[in-house]
Structure 1
Amino acid sequence: MDLIAAGGSLLIILFAIYILAIMTDEYFIPSLDHISGLLNIPSNVAGASLMAMGSSAPELAIALTALFEGSGEHSDVGIGTIVGSAVFNILVITGASALARPAKITLSVVIRDCLVYVLSIALLLYTFYDGQIHPLEAFSFLVVYLTYLIILYKWNSWFPEDVLANVKEAEESEQLLSEQPTDKGQRSIMVLMKDGTTKVLGIFAGSVEQAYLRVFFVSIAIIIMLSWILVKSVIVFGNATSIPPVIIALTLLAAGTSAPDMISSVVVARQGRGDMAVANAVGSNIFDILVGLGFPWLLAMGIGMMTGAPAFVEVGTADLLSSTLVLLGTVFVLFLFLYTERTLSRIEGGILIFLYVLYVLWIWLGG
C-alpha cells in the first residue's frame, strides 16, 4: 500500500466533498429555489423536481466525468456513486429527516414517486442484465423522466387537495419558524470555516438574491470541476489501497455527494414540510438513475458513433447488481413505513439509518 498516495488522495476526496456540499447547498439549490418561487411550484413538486435536480447535480457530474475518464474503464465509479447515493437517500436522508421531526406525508404523492422509482430501478436492472447499454435503453431512461416531469406539473389539476395540503403545511411551517428562538451564542470553528468558504465561493458565484442565473451557471461549472477531481482521486486511492474504486464510490463518494440532499431535507423536515423532505429523497433517486445515468450513456454513444466506435457502452456490473437489488428492497421498506398512519416516525427513521449501517458493512466485507 502506498500510504502517501492513499492519504493524499483521501484528503483531496474529503476536501472536494466539503466544497461540493457548500457549493450545492449555499448556491446551486438556492438558485433553483428562486426559480421554483417565481414559477409558483408547490413544495412536493419542487422537492421532487427542481430541488432533486439541484441536489443530484454532483452525482450527474461524477457520472459524466467517470464515463469519459480514460477509455471509459472507470464508468463503474459514476454508476456506483449513483447507486450508492440512491441507497443513502432512501435510508439515511429520510431516516435523518424523521429523526429531526416525524414526517407527515400525502399518500397520493408517495405512491406517485415510489411507483416511478420502482420503474426506474426495474429499467436499471434490465440494462445491467448483459453488461451493455444500447442507445434505445439509454433513451428510454430520459423518456421516462420526461414523462415523470409532465406528471409532476399536471399533478395540481389532477389532485387539487394536495395543493391545499401544501398551503396549510407552508403556513404551519412559517408559524413554527416564527416561534423558534434565535441562538446568538458563540459560533463554532466549523461554522466560521463554513462561512469563510461560502464567502470565497461567493466571489465567483455572486449573490443568489441579485443574480440567481449567474449563480446557477457558475455553480454548474464548479460542480463539474470538483467532480473531475473526485473521480481522479478515487482512482488514485483505489490503486494505492487495492480497494476497487466502485466500492469507494458505492460508500464514501455516494455518502459525500449526498450531503447536500441530507442537509436540505433535514432543514425542511424541521420546518414541518415532511412531504418535501421525502419527495426530495425519492425524487433525487429518480433523477440520479434516469438522468444521471441515461444522459451520460446517450452522450457517450452519440460521440462514439461519430468517431466510429461501437454503438453501446460496456459497464462492469459485478459489484453493482446486488446493490441495485438492495435499492428495490429499500423502496418497499420506505413505502411500508410511510403507508402506516401516513407518517414516518422517529423509530422508523432510526431503523432506516441502522439498515444503512448494515449495508455499508456488507459492502466493505465483500457482500
Structure 2
Amino acid sequence: MASVTILAFVIQDGQVMWYESLAMLILYSLYILVMKYNSKLIEISQEYIGRRLEDGLPEDIGVLSPLLNRKNKTPHVLESGTQPRREIFTEIPFDQPTRIWNIIGKVLTYPGHLLLKLTIPSCHNQANVLLILTFFMCGIWMAGLTYIITWMITILGVELTIPHAVMGITFIAAGLSIPEMVSSVIVAKQGLGSMALSNTIGSSIFGILVCMGLPWFLDASLIRSNHFTPISSAGLDHSLFILVICILIMYLLFCCNNFKLDMKIGLMCLIMYVFFIILFIYTEVKF
C-alpha cells in the first residue's frame, strides 16, 4: 500500500523529480530494515496480543499462517507449510508431456540450452569464485533478454499503434512475471503458502521502489539537465488508484476466508485482474 501510494504521488504531475525517486529508494531501505528486525517485531506483537487473551497464545503462533487450504495434509506438515528441511527441496511431481511433445520441446530449446551451458559455469561442486561468476552471468543473461523483449514489444506496439503503457502493463508485465509465478507454484505445491505469497508481495515492492526508482534517479540526476523524468501516460494515476482498491479488496477477501488461499480466492484475484486491465486499456486507448 505504501509503495503504490508513493508511486501515485510521484507521477501525479507527469514528471518524476530526482528527490522523489530518491525518496522511493529510501523507502525501500526502510522496508529492508523492517524485514531485518521482523522476528523482533513479531515477538513484540505476540506479547502485546498475549496480554489481551485469557488463554494465552501457542508458542509457534509466529510461524502459523494457514494460507493453503490443503485437503490432504501430512502429519509432518504444519498448516503454514513449515516442513522438515529434507522435504523442502524435493522434486515436484508435474505432469510429464507426451513423447512427441517432449522431443519437439528439446529440439526447439537445444540452441538456447547449449548457449547457456557454454556461457554459464555450473554451480554444482564448484569453488566460491565460480559460484559468483555463475550468479554474475545469470544476471547478464536476464538483463540482456529483458532488454530484447522490451525492445521487440515496443516495436510491436508502435506498429500496431498501441500505447507504450498498455504494452507494458499487459505483455511485458505478464512475460516478466512468469518466472515469479512458476516459483510461487513450486513452493505452494510444497506447502509453503507464506513463501508463495511473500514472494509476490516482495517482488512487487522491489519492482515499484527500486526497478523504477533507481532508473528515474539516475536519469534525473545524471542525464537530464532539468533534473526530472517525464511520464507520458493518461491513465497511470487512475490505474494506481484502482490498484489500491484491489489490494484492499484482496486483503478483505483473505480476512473473510480465514487467511487461506483456495480456488475462491484465486478466482476473485483473476476477476479483479481482468477488471483492472480493462479499465486501464479504456483510459489509455482512444477508440
Smaller-chain TM-score bracket: 0.7 to 0.9
Match of 1:132 among 15, 20, 25: 15
1:144 deviates by: 0.8
1:180 deviates by: 7.4
Specify the alignment match of 1:205 in structure 2.
Answer: 120
CA separation of 1:317/1:185 partners in 2, compared to 1, >3 Å: closer, same or farther?
Answer: closer
Superposition pairs of residues 265-304 of structure 1, within 5 angstroms: 265-304=184-223
The letter of the residue matching 1:292 is C
Matched, 1:159 2:78: no
Specify the alignment match of 1:150 in structure 2.
Answer: 33
Specify the alignment match of 1:246 in structure 2.
Answer: 165
Matched, 1:339 2:251: no
CA separation of 1:237/1:302 partners in 2, compared to 1, >3 Å: closer, same or farther?
Answer: same
**CA distances 1:320-349 after superposition (whole Å, capped 9, x unpaired):** 122212221221122112223121221111
Superposition pairs of residues 23-172 of structure 1, within 5 angstroms: 118-159=1-42, 161=60, 164-165=63-64, 169-171=81-83
CA separation of 1:184/1:135 partners in 2, compared to 1, >3 Å: closer, same or farther?
Answer: closer
Specify the alignment match of 1:352 in structure 2.
Answer: 269
The letter of the residue matching 1:350 is L
Distance 1:348 1:143 in 2: 33
Distance 2:97 2:144 in 1: 36
CA separation of 1:325/1:184 partners in 2, compared to 1, >3 Å: closer, same or farther?
Answer: closer
SS in 2 for 1:170: coil
Contact 1:207 1:215 in 2 (8 A): yes
1:216 deviates by: 1.6
- Scaled by the length of structure 1, the TM-score of the pair is 0.60
Distance 1:177 1:299 in 2: 39
Specify the alignment match of 1:105 in structure 2.
Answer: none
Matched, 1:328 2:247: no
Matched, 1:318 2:273: no
Distance 1:227 1:178 in 2: 30
Return 162-171 or 352-361, whichever deviates more: 162-171
Distance 2:7 2:263 in 1: 31
Q: CA RMSD in A?
A: 2.9
Bigger-Rg structure (1/2):
2
1:301 deviates by: 1.8
Distance 2:248 2:149 in 1: 32
Distance 1:227 1:181 in 2: 30
- Scaled by the length of structure 2, the TM-score of the pair is 0.75
Highest RCO, 1 vs 2 (Cα 8 Å, sep ≥ 6):
1
CA separation of 1:270/1:304 partners in 2, compared to 1, >3 Å: closer, same or farther?
Answer: same
CA separation of 1:170/1:145 partners in 2, compared to 1, >3 Å: closer, same or farther?
Answer: same
SS in 1 for 2:155: helix
Distance 2:135 2:96 in 1: 31
Which protein has the bigger helix share?
1
Distance 2:235 2:63 in 1: 45
CA separation of 1:165/1:136 partners in 2, compared to 1, >3 Å: closer, same or farther?
Answer: same
Contact 2:216 2:229 in 1 (8 A): yes
**CA distances 1:21-62 after superposition (whole Å, capped 9, x unpaired):** xxxxxxxxxxxxxxxxxxxxxxxxxxxxxxxxxxxxxxxxxx
Identity, in percent, stands at: 26
Stretches of structure 1 lacking an aligned partner (at least 5 in a row): 1-117
SS in 2 for 1:313: strand
Specify the alignment match of 2:49 in structure 1.
Answer: none
